[in-house]
């Protein structure tokens, strides 16, 4: 425990000790250690003993909880006591010891969703003498965060100190922006493996990735919308770019299921229900095409491609761009030179394939063929970009100068052991280009190298498209080297975490 507290002191401003993570046999000795632990840190200590139904690690009956708090370490700075126990402390019965309410965090947790009576729960908490109120609820949609942010506004207006958090990957925005909007604190895990709630970042991520200490209400906000997004490398690249350039901005992953509700309630300058300095968005699957219906203006190339991956918010307007096309082409041109009179194979029929085909079409004389398993989707895409179509099953790429994987096959996770083509199919192709960037070395690329092909991975395209987004949002050149190094570090870290 001593080493853990010492590590936590270097990462956070306050330290929470979760006694519910200990077995009963360990409790008594650990409680005696708290006074000694204070010697190891000058950080305030929060003591927590939470039952499983409110997010704790153990089944705790009422009697066990009462006994713990009666024997609580008096030297702690704060006690996180659940709302259902507060009436017992208020009753001042002989069974319950007195409590210093200036040390109490009165909390309520809901791991199922957002309670219909959330505001009434807040009112019950606000009626107690607890110094700090805490609400943590599960967010299934990013728009659920609006009610959490409203609680912070209610508390601020009433002069009450509050912690309000939306748990889950859809709620990470409340953890990052909460303190800037009046929250008493936000929570970060010491290590990724010790997270105590879904969607909880580490303290290091909050400090170093999101620079939470530098966020204020006027900070420019950019973010990535898609489903899923929490494993994206984009926050690492763009937050590093903002830090390097001195830009007062933060880039946040927004997990969006219901695009219509998100745009209407949180993005659109004329309809949004939150006052924040939102300036731009990256767009990834599955929203690149659907988002176009909500934009006030779309650059001609993005309209031709049929996909938008970048939104700029300017003068109450939503402006759409596609930076994928430029980013796709440059690594190929750097290695291959002119694409005039080349034969290219594009595997896939999604947004990435659209950007690749549009770019190839703009190269005079470049001939493209679309390869897909789905004939209807593939032939429709091929017709749109004046390309040929062939079935992927049994295809041979021997006569192609360039073969592009524009599918998600090979992406870290459940698709990592899959490839859109075999070594035999790729043999004879001149250059193989995988738009998947995580992992850096995909099965598709390994097969291509064994087949004797030159290869390009997806990392250069990833960095270049993000650099163009940075330029659109800030009107300044992006620090490419900084972004590339940040992306590599993040990808290396994801490899290590997957091996733990």
The residues annotated as belonging to the active site are 288
What is the rounded distance in angstroms from the CA atom of residue 309 to the CA atom of residue 321?
Answer: 6
Q: Which residues of 475-500 are buried (b: 16+ CB within 10 A; e: fewer)?
A: eeebbbebbbebbbebbeebeeeeee
Starting at the edge strand that comes first in sequence, how are the strands of the sheet with 15-18 ordered? 15-18, 45-48, 78-82, 104-110, 132-138, 161-167
Q: For residue 138, report the phi and psi dihedrals to the nearest 5 degrees.
A: -85, 130
Q: For residue 283, report the phi and psi dihedrals to the nearest 5 degrees.
A: -125, 130
User: Which is it for strands 278-283 and 310-314: parallel, antiparallel or unpaired?
Assistant: antiparallel
Strand locations in 379-494 (E):
388-391, 402-405, 431-434, 454-456
Q: For residue 10, report the phi and psi dihedrals to the nearest 5 degrees.
A: -80, -20
Closest Cα to residue 411, out of 469, 482, 462?
462
What is the rounded distance in angstroms from the CA atom of residue 168 to the CA atom of residue 285?
Answer: 19
Q: For residue 52, report the phi and psi dihedrals to the nearest 5 degrees.
A: -55, -40
Q: For residue 197, report the phi and psi dihedrals to the nearest 5 degrees.
A: -155, 150
Q: Is the peptide bond before 78 cis (omega within 30 degrees of 0)?
A: no
Assign residue 454 a region (left: φ > 0; alpha: ψ between -120 and 50; beta: otherwise): beta
- Cβ atoms of 301 and 354 closer than 8 Å: no
């Amino acid at each position: 425990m001593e080493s853990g507290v010492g590590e936590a002191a270097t990462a956070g401003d306050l330290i929470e000790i979760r006694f519910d993570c200990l077995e009963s046999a360990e409790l008594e000795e650990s409680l005696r250690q708290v006074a000694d632990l204070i010697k190891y840190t000058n950080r305030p200590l929060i003591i927590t003993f939470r039952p499983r139904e409110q997010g704790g690690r153990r089944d705790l009956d009422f009697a066990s909880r009462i006994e713990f708090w009666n024997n609580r370490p008096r030297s702690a700075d704060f006690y996180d006591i659940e709302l259902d126990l507060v009436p017992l402390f208020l009753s001042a019965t002989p069974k319950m010891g007195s409590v210093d309410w200036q040390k109490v965090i009165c909390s309520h947790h809901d791991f199922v969703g957002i309670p219909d009576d959330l505001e009434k729960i807040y009112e019950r908490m606000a009626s107690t003498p607890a110094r700090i109120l805490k609400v943590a609820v599960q967010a299934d949609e990013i728009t659920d965060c609006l009610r959490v942010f409203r609680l912070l506004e209610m508390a601020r207006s009433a002069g009450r100190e509050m912690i309000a958090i939306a748990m889950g990957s859809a709620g990470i925005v409340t953890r990052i922006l909460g303190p800037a909007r009046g929250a008493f604190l936000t929570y970060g895990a010491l290590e990724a493996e010790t997270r105590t709630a879904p969607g909880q970042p580490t303290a290091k991520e909050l400090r170093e990735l999101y620079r939470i200490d530098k966020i204020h209400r006027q900070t420019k906000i950019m973010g990535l919308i898609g489903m899923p997004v929490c494993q994206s490398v984009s926050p690492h690249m763009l937050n590093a770019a903002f830090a390097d350039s001195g830009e007062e901005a933060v880039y946040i992953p927004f997990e969006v299921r219901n695009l219509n509700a998100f745009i209407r309630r949180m993005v659109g300058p004329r309809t949004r229900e939150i006052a924040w300095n939102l300036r731009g968005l990256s767009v990834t699957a599955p929203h690149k095409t659907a988002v176009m219906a909500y934009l006030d203006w779309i650059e001609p190339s993005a309209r031709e491609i049929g996909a938008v991956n970048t939104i700029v918010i300017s003068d109450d307007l939503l402006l759409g761009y596609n930076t994928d096309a430029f980013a796709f082409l440059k690594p190929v041109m750097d290695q291959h030179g002119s694409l005039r009179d080349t034969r290219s194979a594009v595997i896939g029929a999604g947004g990435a394939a659209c950007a690749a085909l549009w770019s190839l079409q703009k190269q005079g004389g470049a001939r493209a063929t679309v390869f897909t398993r789905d004939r209807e989707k593939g032939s429709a895409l091929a017709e749109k970009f004046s390309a040929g179509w062939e079935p992927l099953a049994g295809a041979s790429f021997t006569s192609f100068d360039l073969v592009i994987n524009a599918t998600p096959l090979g992406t870290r996770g459940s698709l990592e052991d899959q490839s859109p083509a075999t070594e035999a199919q790729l043999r004879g192709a001149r250059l193989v280009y995988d738009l998947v960037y995580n992992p850096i070395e995909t099965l598709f690329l390994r097969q291509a190298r064994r087949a004797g092909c030159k290869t390009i991975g997806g990392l250069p395209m990833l960095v270049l498209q993000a650099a163009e987004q940075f330029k659109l949002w800030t009107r300044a050149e992006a620090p490419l080297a900084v972004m590339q190094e940040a992306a590599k570090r993040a990808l290396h870290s994801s490899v290590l975490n997957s091996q733990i």
